[in-house]
Structures are given as C-alpha cells and as structure tokens.
Amino acid sequence: MSILKQPFAPARLALPVLLALSAAACAENVSDGLAEAAPQTASAGVVQTVLTTATRAQPQEAAQQWRWQTVATGLNHPWGLAFLPDGRFLISERSGDLRVVDAQGRISAPVTGLPKIDVGGQGGLLDVVLDENFADNGRVYFCFSEPGSGGNSTALAEGILSPEGGRLSQVKTLFSQAPKVRSNRHFGCRIALAPGYIYLGMGDRGSRSEEAQNLGSHIGKIVRLSRNGSVPADNPFVQQSNARGEIWSYGHRNIQGMVLDAQGRLWASEHGAQGGDEINLIAAGKNYGWPVIAYGKDYGGGQIGAGITAQAGMEQPLYYWDPSMAPSGMAFVGSNPYGNDWHGVLLAGSLKFGYVARLTLDGDKIVHEEKINVGERVRDVRQAPDGFIYIVTDSSNGKLMKLLPR
C-alpha cells in the first residue's frame, strides 16, 4: 500500500481555477504554476476578487510503504471506534447496534440497553467515545439520531458498559438538538472530550436555509457541555437572550471529524457540497460561514447563496478540498511505531475516494498532504493506546483495519 504525496499549495485553490480543472485532475494530478483567485468577498454589495498565485505539484510515490491488515469484517456500516482497556474494540454501527470486537476479529451480539434510535438515511447510532476513566467507571458516550415529536434530532447520551461488554445500564440523554426536524440527513454527531467538558458537532440537517446562522437553534453548530450535560457558565453565548447557551461555534454544514490537539485546541472537519470540504480550528463564539460563504458549488453546479467565499465576521478554513473528498473521522498522531516524522501529524479519512489523508502541520498551517490508499470508504480513524492506527470502513460488510509497515 503506497502513500501518495501531495505537496501543499500555500494558499487555497479558489473556484475560478478549480472549475477549469477536471475532477480527476483535481484529485490526483494538478499541474504547477496555477494562478489562484483569493476569496471573493462581499463588501457594500460589491463582489471583489484579489488575485494571488499558488503552486501545487503532482503527487509522488512515498519512499516508505504501508499495508492495511484486516482485523474484522462483517460490520454493518460501522461509524465510531473506541479501544477497550483489555484490547477489545467497541464499534458503533449506523444500523443501530453497538458491538464488541476482539483481537481475533470475532464480533459480539449487539450490546443491549441502547435507547430508541431513528435509523434511516444518514441517521442511526453514530459516534462512540470512552470516558478517560473508563477502566474505573465504565462510562461510554455515544451520539445517535433521536426520534421524537416533530421528527428527529442529533442526541448525545451516556451509559455504563458492563465488564463483559454485553449491556449498557444507567443510560441518560445529556443533550438533544433543538428543534427536531423531519430529515434523515446531516446529523453530524462527532464527539470530542476535553477535561471536564464534552463537544458535539452537528450538521445543518440538509437545509439550505440560514438555520446554521441562527443562534436560537442547535442546527449547524458545535456545542460544548459539562460532563453532566449542563451548560458551562463560560460558554460564549450564555448571556445572550436569543441564543442557545450550549453553542460553542456556528455556521457549520455537517461536522464529520473532531479532535483535540496536544494543546487542547479543537479541530473539526466538515462536508461541503460539490467542493469545499473544510478543516477548521474551532474557537469559542466564531462563525464558520455556512451557508453564507463556501468554497465549491451546490450539487448540479449552481452557486451557494451569493456565491462568495469570504465575508467580514466569518472564519476562513485552514484547509479545504475541491473537489470534495468527503472527510470523516480524524486523529492526531502521538507516540507511534511509524517513525518520528509521524509525530503530530493529523489524519483524516476520506469517504468519497477511500483513503486516509496524512496532513503535516507547521504551527496552525497544514503544509503537506499524503494519501494512504485504502480502496474503501473510510468512516473513522483512531490511534490505539499501543500507537497503531485503526480505521473502520463504511459498507454493509464494513471492516476494522490496522495500518502496518509492508
């Protein structure tokens, strides 16, 4: 299994250039010396474009080779992956089941005790994360599509996993997105834990409306909660009467990856439409633009909103893909068996093209991208306590896989 290296273009390739390229060229073979249009901004009703230049070289074969070892097969659209202290894996399936998988790849019967889940479309049982003190308290956090009056919603719950892994007890819903809507799309549902807090990323539920900009709604937001589900007093909109106190950031289309770095900062990936998938460094109270600003086009080629890519008061992505690669789970690599040059890199799965992106950072900037080919839709990427990288693949015969040197 080879890694394809793609040296990074210092600035984002903007739409006037990208629309001139074929999808295949954008994905694998972008030539040098492209003129780039900087973000188009709306100012006093006038769209302004400032030209800059950027260079992106063709992908190259990496010197070191890697292979994926299949640990287990037969999972039904696995979504989230967690590592139990005894070496087993806890894996959620979008079909509504939670499974324990052992090191030999044997898949358990469904864990009992889950709440009612609205399975359909993109909804179901989605992310799963273990409490940092799981070995002592057995606590598991999970995200799911919750049915209810008016439709369904993204919801976060906790429960205690029995020692043998067969049952959840003391299940409690910590958060439910409001309002509920009739949609089976864009739940988000990625979880990240910080000391004393829990972050939950959500989507816009497939709406092209301004709901992601509405602080009176949880739709299209990242929320930050205390571990018991209460609203922290220092959340950015707690004192704003027309806002939901849980909101940490807003203007998101569909959060699919979320992870904290070694400094405790929150990073998130989200899906664009036809182009414009993003990685953002999330800060309290910031507006990430959707659907007012976006890179890429709407499905079928139409523009999104006013067709602008920047506006005052809205954050620019640190990195974006056009065409879309459909990012999924993310992980920062700490100590590892892959070599010193892997330390601190950011990994992001690709659903659309079936690879893991290995992203090298210089400070807060992503300066280099390599593609570790998988050949299947990658739903989640995690680093195990022993340092090895594991993924789950999204299909009705989904796999748990481990990255090894060839």
Q: Dump pLDDT digits (tens) for 58-114.
A: 233 343 578 999 999 999 999 999 999 999 999 999 999 999 999 999 999 999 999
Per-residue model confidence (pLDDT) at position 64: 57
Q: What is the CATH number of the domain that holds 137?
A: 2.120.10.30
- Cβ atoms < 10 Å from Cβ of 46: 7
Q: Does position 145 have pLDDT exceeding 60, yes or no?
A: yes
Question: 146: domain range?
Answer: 3-405
State how far the alpha carbon of 396 is from the alpha carbons of 74, 94, 99, 268, 392, in Å.
7, 10, 14, 26, 12
Q: How confident is the model at residue 406 (pLDDT cuts 50, 70, 90)?
A: confident
Residues 188/175, Cβ–Cβ less than 8 Å: no
Residue 373, burial from CB neighbour count under 10 angstroms (0-12, 13-18, 19+): middle
Q: Does position 53 have pLDDT exceeding 50, yes or no?
A: no
Q: How many CA atoms lie within 13 A of 316 on its CB side?
A: 16
In the chain, the percentage of residues whose pLDDT exceeds 90 is 77
CA distance 56 to 60: 12
CA distance 251 to 237: 14
Residues 90/130, Cβ–Cβ less than 8 Å: yes
Q: Does position 35 have pLDDT exceeding 80, yes or no?
A: no
Which of the pair, 356 or 322, is modelled with greater confidence? Answer: 356
Per-residue model confidence (pLDDT) at position 46: 29
CA distance 371 to 350: 9
Which of the pair, 67 or 36, is modelled with greater confidence? Answer: 67
Digit-coded pLDDT (tens) for 255-306: 999 999 999 999 999 999 999 999 999 999 999 999 999 998 888 888 998 8
Q: How confident is the model at residue 336 (pLDDT cuts 50, 70, 90)?
A: confident
Which range among 37-41, 85-89, 203-207, 325-329 shows the weakest confidence by mean pLDDT? 37-41
Residue 383, burial from CB neighbour count under 10 angstroms (0-12, 13-18, 19+): buried
Question: Tokens standing for 66?
Answer: 């890697």
Residues with catalytic annotation?
186
In the chain, the percentage of residues whose pLDDT exceeds 70 is 84
If one counts the domains in the chain, the total is 1
Mean pLDDT, the chain, rounded, equals 86
Q: Does position 143 have pLDDT exceeding 90, yes or no?
A: yes
